[in-house]
Each structure stands twice: as C-alpha cells, then as structure tokens.
Amino acid sequence: MDLLAAGTSVLETLNGAGYEAYFVGGMVRDRLIGRPIYDVDITTSATPDTVMSLFDKTIATGLQHGTVTVMIGKIPVEVTTFRVESHYIDYRRPKEVRFTRSLDEDLRRRDFTINAIAMDREGQLLDPIGGREDLEKSLIVCVGKPTERFQEDPLRILRGIRFVSKLGFSLEAETLAAMIETKELLQQISMERVKKELEGMVKGDFFQKAMNDAYEMDLMSVIPFFNGLNKYRQRCYEAITHPIILFALAGLTCDNLAEYLAAWPFSRVERKCIEVLCHALNQEVDPTYFTYLYGEEWARFYHQMKLFIHQENVPYQVVDLPISDRRELLISGKVIAEVIQRPKGPWIQELLRKIEYLVVMNQLKNEKETLIQYIKNEMEEADDE
C-alpha cells in the first residue's frame, strides 16, 4: 500500500464514523505541483480520543498538539484534530490546544497559504484562503497578518525560507517585510527547532535561492554564532550538500568554537565532525591523510568545504590508501626498539607516527626492509646533529 492509499483508508474510516477528515499541508501542496510526497497529514473534526478508539494501532505522538499517529500496516499517518492557533509560552510551548469543529478555523491557524489547502478523499479541494492561487504564482504568503503570525511563532520565518529552498518559490513582499521586522524573535526559539529547519533548508533543491533571501534579510546576524557567515554573503552555495557543512562553516567563522559547539544541540558525532573539519581547515591537513584519519564520508565534507571557501569546482576523488590502520604497518614499536638499541621512550611513538604519515602519503613503501632502512637513516641523521 502506498502513502496515498493508506491516507485514503484513514479518511474513509473517519468519514464512515461521521467525522470530517481531509488531507492537508505539505502533502496536498506537493501533490498539486507534482512533487513526490513523503508523508501524509490529515486534519479531522474527531478528537484525539476518538481517533485512538477508531483504529487498531495508534501512537500518541503529539497529544499536546492534538496529533495521533495512525499506523496503516507499516505506514504512519499523522491525524490532527481541527484546532485554532494556540498562544505560545516563551515561544516554545503552545499554552493550550483549543479544538474546533471548523475546518475553516483550522486552516486559518496554518502558516502559509500554500500549506492551508484541504483535500477530501475524492480529491476535491477545499481552499477558502486561496492557497492554490499562490501555488500557481509560486509565492509563499502568510495566512493572515504576517507580522502577527511571525510574532506568534517566529520559527515560521525559518520555515518560510525552508520552503523557498524546497520549492524554489518567492517570498511575497508583505511576508518578506514582516520576516525582516520580526527576525530578532528567532533568538527566542529553541535551538532544536532552529537546527531542524536549517537542516531542511540545506537539503532543498533551491538552497542558493534560500541563502540569497536569508542574506537579504540579514538573517545570519540573528542566528546564534552564525554572524561570521556574513563574510560569505555573495557566495555560491552549490557545493554545500549536507547540513554538517553549513554548521562547520559557522564554526569556522564564529568567535569561539567551543562555545558554539556547547550552545547548539549537536549529537556527539556531529560535534566531533565539526571540530575535526574546522581543525583540518585551519591546519590545512592533506586530504589523503584526512581520509586516512577520518574516513571517506567526512573527507567528502572536507572537500566540499574547501570548494566552498575557495569557490572552486573540482570533483571529489576517491583515494586509494596504502594502509587503513596503523596496525597494518609492517613495523612495530617492538621491532624499532630491537633495531635501534636505545632506551625506550616517547621517541618510538613519534617515529611510528612519522612512518605512518609517510606511508599513507605514499612517500615510503610499507615494506619491512624499507622501513627498517628508513629508521636507521633517521637515527644516523639524528646522531649527526
């Protein structure tokens, strides 16, 4: 069963029990412009309790917003009860959910007109706000008074830009002006929510357009630690295909990397990756050696960051590493100690590290005799000095 069939069966059950129910949001929007759909949102007059009683398998994924996930086989379908805009406490949590019996009210609490089109199970559209017209004009327009809507939930500013990136649409003039007017409120939004939107933005097909808009609004100045990115204002962002690269660039250009890493809700792996990338860029670590140390995935990020910084366009080349681990070296600390009869000490590790580097860089062959000869030469030179 595909997404649409799963969603339709949910609509049928809800309608059959006497409730109104419609597809809504991104799925309707994306379908109307012929884009692939990845998830299904349904809006209904049934309360969450009723929804849970009507289906065998449900998960209370967002009861505070009136959302229940209905499982149709393995397909999750999000079902949200008609509700009106809730007031937000400190821009993080809605104070209360107020349900309504009116689809019209539910559509009016939504962020943008293109996200406020409902579709019934026969494919009939209900579009009291006129989202279709804006879809045809490729415009992102607030539902209602833009300034008020951004004040209610400033995350919508970033959502708007994420939709620019995803759809390639333009921000309607009044919506854009309100974004600029209220952008400082973004600093009140939890970093988790901000991070998620930024990640979505990087993944969009029209990321360059989104970045142009973001710079036009001077948005980097209000996102914590992103100020330094202003120096990359006029840049081509094509090389940036993964969110971690944007976060690493922000790290590279911010005043205090440690504070930045501590302030954002990065996973341990993400934090490590950003740290490694920033360090490698500052130290100009050789890409081959970088690949050896951190593997190909991060090496690709490193490559893309350099492309971005130098505004070059060189394809990534897979490197063939002579060894993938120090243990593959055909010499060990023990052998070194036997060949060079000296008291053991940190010099052995230092020498091993140097040999490792030269082998990885193809400047020294990983053969026992060659390596022993190299060590003897090194020691003689050291003795001469």
Site of interaction with Mg ion (CB under 5 A): 26, 39
Least distance to Mg ion from the beta carbon of 40, Å? Answer: 8
- 155: amino acid identity, one letter: L
Least distance to Mg ion from the beta carbon of 28, Å? Answer: 10
| Residues 9 to 48 in contact with ligand ATP, rule: CB under 6 A | 25-26, 39, 41
Candidate list 83, 110, 183, 195; residue touching ligand ATP; CB under 6 A: 110
What is the SS3 assignment for 307-342?
A: HHHHCCCCCCCCCCCCCCCHHHCCCCHHHHHHHCCC
Residue 153 binding target from ligand ATP, Mg ion, none, CB below 5 to 8 Å by type: ligand ATP
Q: Say which DSSP state 142 is in.
A: B
**Is-contact 140 172, C-beta < 8 A?**
yes
Q: Which is nearer to Mg ion, 26 or 204 (CB)?
A: 26
Assigned token pair, 271? 């934090």
Q: Which is nearer to ligand ATP, 61 or 227 (CB)?
A: 61
Least distance to ligand ATP from the beta carbon of 152, Å? Answer: 8
Residue 303 binding target from ligand ATP, Mg ion, none, CB below 5 to 8 Å by type: none
Q: Which is nearer to ligand ATP, 26 or 251 (CB)?
A: 26
| Residues 279 to 318 in contact with ligand ATP, rule: CB under 6 A | none
Q: Which is nearer to ligand ATP, 155 or 299 (CB)?
A: 155
**Is-contact 117 134, C-beta < 8 A?**
no
**Is-contact 183 157, C-beta < 8 A?**
yes
Q: Which residue is nearest to ligand ATP (CB)?
A: 26
Return all residues near 143 (Cβ < 8 A) that are at least 6 apart. Answer: 107, 108, 109, 110, 111, 112, 113, 116, 129, 149
In whole angstroms, give the CA distance from residue 150 to residue 217: 14
Q: Which stretch binds ligand ATP (CB under 6 A): 56-64, 148-156, 266-274, 344-352?
A: 148-156
Least distance to ligand ATP from the beta carbon of 243, Å? Answer: 14
* Three-class SS state of 253: helix
Q: Which stretch binds ligand ATP (CB under 6 A): 153-161, 170-178, 234-242, 302-310?
A: 153-161
- Give the burial class of 185: count Cβ atoms within 10 A of its Cβ; 0-12 exposed, 13-18 middle, 19 or more buried: middle
Residue 253 binding target from ligand ATP, Mg ion, none, CB below 5 to 8 Å by type: none
160 binding ligand ATP? (CB under 6 A):
no
* CA-to-CA dists, residue 13 to 6, 18, 19, 164, 351, angstroms: 11, 9, 9, 35, 72
Q: Which stretch binds ligand ATP (CB under 6 A): 111-119, 172-180, 208-216, 226-234?
A: 111-119
Q: Which stretch binds ligand ATP (CB under 6 A): 134-142, 150-158, 220-228, 278-286?
A: 150-158
Return all residues near 242 (Cβ < 8 A) that are at least 6 apart. Answer: 202, 301, 304
Q: Which is nearer to Mg ion, 26 or 160 (CB)?
A: 26
In whole angstroms, give the CA distance from residue 148 to residue 156: 11
153 binding ligand ATP? (CB under 6 A):
yes
* CA-to-CA dists, residue 77 to 8, 10, 184, angstroms: 10, 8, 35
Residue 110 binding target from ligand ATP, Mg ion, none, CB below 5 to 8 Å by type: ligand ATP
131 binding ligand ATP? (CB under 6 A):
no
Residue 263 sits at the vertex; the CA angle it makes with 260 and 266, to the nearest 5 degrees, is 90
CA dihedral 104, 31, 193, 138 (to 10 degrees): -80
Q: Which is nearer to ligand ATP, 116 or 277 (CB)?
A: 116
Q: Which is nearer to ligand ATP, 39 or 275 (CB)?
A: 39
Q: Which of 244, 138, 161 is nearest to 207 (CA)?
A: 161
**Is-contact 123 11, C-beta < 8 A?**
no
Candidate list 118, 135, 155, 189; residue touching ligand ATP; CB under 6 A: 155
Contact positions toward ligand ATP, by CB under 6 A?
Answer: 25-26, 39, 41, 110-111, 115-116, 153, 155-156, 159
